[in-house]
């Protein structure tokens, strides 16, 4: 049996007849009980499920990071991670059913007003090392020399993330990131963004794709 909260005009929690009441982030929700599906899912629904599963497989390991890096967005009705999933599902998943793929150049793993990386790129010319470089200057209005670089590398062969968070500053202009021997000859995609000491973030930028040396 459902319980009424805050008097007759308040929301309720629990089950009442064919509806269920609940609350999330101080917002009251009422939804009907789910009904057993009789008709098979349309192809468009199956395609959307496949696209969703694909983007979640990449973003889920970064959930804790994106709860912070998407904090500049309106998170009153959705978490930063959920906002990131929705945005990247619409922008970064490409292809025709059933061959969907992620366009890493369109991925965003951070949002904010901080100055984004300028001319970022990555190379792999030393054994076991990926070097990421960027223009070290800042505009002093939305960026600072002591902003730190946050880099996400993704091994598309092994489907493994490699993170380097806060280990170099904007003014340093580059960083060398070691990778395990088993990454050698694998395809690596990269993204980076800056964060400030007072909790601000930049929009992420695409680093490109390299083959690990």
* 3-state helix/strand/coil string of the chain: CCEECCCCCCCEEEEECCEEEEEECCEEEEEECCCCCCCCCCHHHHHHHHHHHHHHHHHHHHHHHHHHHCCCCCCCCCCHHHHHHHHHHHHCEEEECCEEEECHHHCCCCCCCECCCCCCEEEEEECCEEEEECCCCCCCCCCCCCCEEEEEEEECCCCEEEEEEEEEEHHHCEEEEECCHHHCCCEEEEEEEEECCCCCEECCEEEEEEECC
Mean pLDDT of 57-78: 94
What's the whole-model pTM score?
0.83
Smallest Cα–Cα separation from 84: which of 51, 53, 59?
59
Structural domain for 8, as ranges = 3-32
Please indicate, yes or no, whether residues 19 and 45 belong to a single structural domain of this protein: no
59 lies in the same domain as 125? no
> Which residue in the block uniquely carries the two structure tokens 């000859």?
185
CB 109 within 8 A of CB 194: no
* End-to-end C-alpha distance for the chain, whole angstroms: 63
Stretch 137-164: mean pLDDT: 97
Query: Same domain, yes or no, for 150 and 213?
Result: yes
Question: Is 212 in the same domain as 121?
Answer: yes
Q: Specify whether 130 is located in the same domain as 211.
A: yes
Q: Give how many domains the chain has, as a whole number.
A: 3
Among 117, 109, 107, 126, residue whose Cα is nearest residue 179? 126
pLDDT(8) > 50? no
pLDDT one-digit tens code per residue, 155-173: 999 999 999 999 999 999 9
The predicted structure's pLDDT at residue 124:
98
Q: Are residues 83 and 131 in the same domain?
A: no
Q: What are the C-alpha distances in Å from 65 to residues 1, 43, 59, 70, 117?
A: 39, 34, 10, 9, 18
Question: Do 119 and 206 belong to one domain?
Answer: yes
Within 10 angstroms of residue 189's Cβ, the number of other Cβ atoms is 20
Looking at the predicted structure, is the pLDDT value of residue 38 above 70?
A: no
CATH number, residue 210 = 2.60.40.10
Domain identity same for 122 and 181? yes
């Amino acid at each position: 049996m459902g319980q009424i909260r805050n008097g007759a005009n308040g929301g309720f929690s629990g089950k009442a007849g064919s509806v269920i009441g609940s609350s999330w982030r101080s917002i009251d929700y009422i939804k009907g009980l789910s009904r057993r599906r009789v008709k098979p899912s349309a192809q468009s629904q199956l395609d959307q499920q496949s696209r969703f599963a694909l983007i979640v497989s990449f973003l889920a390991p970064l959930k804790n990071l994106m709860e912070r890096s998407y904090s500049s967005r309106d998170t009153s009705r959705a978490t930063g991670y959920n906002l990131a999933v929705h945005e990247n599902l619409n922008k970064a998943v490409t292809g025709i059913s059933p061959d969907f793929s992620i366009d890493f150049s369109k991925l965003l793993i951070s949002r904010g007003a901080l100055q984004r990386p300028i001319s970022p790129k990555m190379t792999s010319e030393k054994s076991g090392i990926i070097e990421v470089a960027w223009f070290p200057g800042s505009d002093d209005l939305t960026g600072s020399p002591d902003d730190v670089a946050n880099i996400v590398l993704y091994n598309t062969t092994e489907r493994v993330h490699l993170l380097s968070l806060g280990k170099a500053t904007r003014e340093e202009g580059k960083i060398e990131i070691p990778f395990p021997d088993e990454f050698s000859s694998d395809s690596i995609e990269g993204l980076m963004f800056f964060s400030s000491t007072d909790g601000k973030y930049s929009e992420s930028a695409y680093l490109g794709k390299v083959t690990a040396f």
